[in-house]
Amino acid sequence: MYGKLGSTAFLATPAGALACTGLDALWYVVAGFTLVAAGFAVGRLLPRRRK
């Protein structure tokens, strides 16, 4: 468990680098997709209208 700590930090480095290198558009796309997915999830919770 503790021997893999270095490899975990190595794999997490690109995510931190994206936040610092000016790839803000990527984060806006990810945030937008998250909001759309949350909207679909809420839509599935609502009861359907019967005609």
8-22 pLDDT per residue, tens: 666 666 666 666 666
Find out whether 19 and 27 touch, Cβ atoms under 8 Å: yes
Residues 6+ apart with CB under 8 A from 26: 18
pTM: 0.50
Tens digit of each residue's pLDDT (9 = 90 or more) over 2-51: 555 555 666 666 666 666 666 677 788 888 999 999 999 999 998 888 77
d(C-alpha 51, C-alpha 15), whole Å = 48
Per domain, the residue ranges of the chain are 2-45
